[in-house]
Structure 1
Amino acid sequence: MSTAHTVIVAVLAGVGFVFSLSGALGILRMPDLYSRIQCSSKTITMGAVPALIALVVGEGIVSPYAARALIVGFLLLVVNPAASHALARAAYRAGVPMWPGAVRDEVADDE
């Protein structure tokens, strides 16, 4: 692997690590379930996708790892937002309270 590939892999892995770390810190710092879901879904997706692309670049596009990594990355981009939406909706319907400092409950305003 050339130096350029090594640099690209390191940068992509670093970006993935930073996003994943910020997601983990956000989960610890956010005040309620809904904020944690929002924080984790975006940062986990943006943490895993660059790491998977780094794997593809590092191993080469024609490898067993590349096809699997690209499939997993695509599924993350499609399934993660839908799953986080379903989780938040189920929590709301189950009566999980919002943080008292929330500006407003838009779902309750629409009903």
Structure 2
Amino acid sequence: MARFRLMWGLFAFAATFVAFLVLLIMQHQPSARPTAQETSIESLVAAEVAARYAVPREVPTVTRLTDVAALAKTNPSFYAGLLDGDWLVRYPRLLIVYRREEGRIVKIER
């Protein structure tokens, strides 16, 4: 009986130790998901655009323009007049460029 208790105690200790290691490893892995702040800024930009223009009910893809000069080389007619920091709000059939600092829509393409 004492041997059974010893084996059971070792098993419980080993299981607890393995669970602790798994939790420790999972805590230190970097997350690929955006932070809550990034998500909320994108949602806020999408809401600001929706308040100024009748947009579809789909969820848009929101990105911030960081290198307009390089993008202008690929499509000069679209990126002309845009600035670094402008927001690109993309729906399946609609593309909106929004300048948040001024609170206005800069360009719309269907």
TM-score of the two chains, using structure 1 as the length reference: 0.29
TM-score when normalising by structure 2: 0.29
The structure with the largest helix share of the pair is 1
Q: Which has the higher contact order (CA 8 A, sep 6+)?
A: 1
Q: Which has the higher strand share?
A: 2
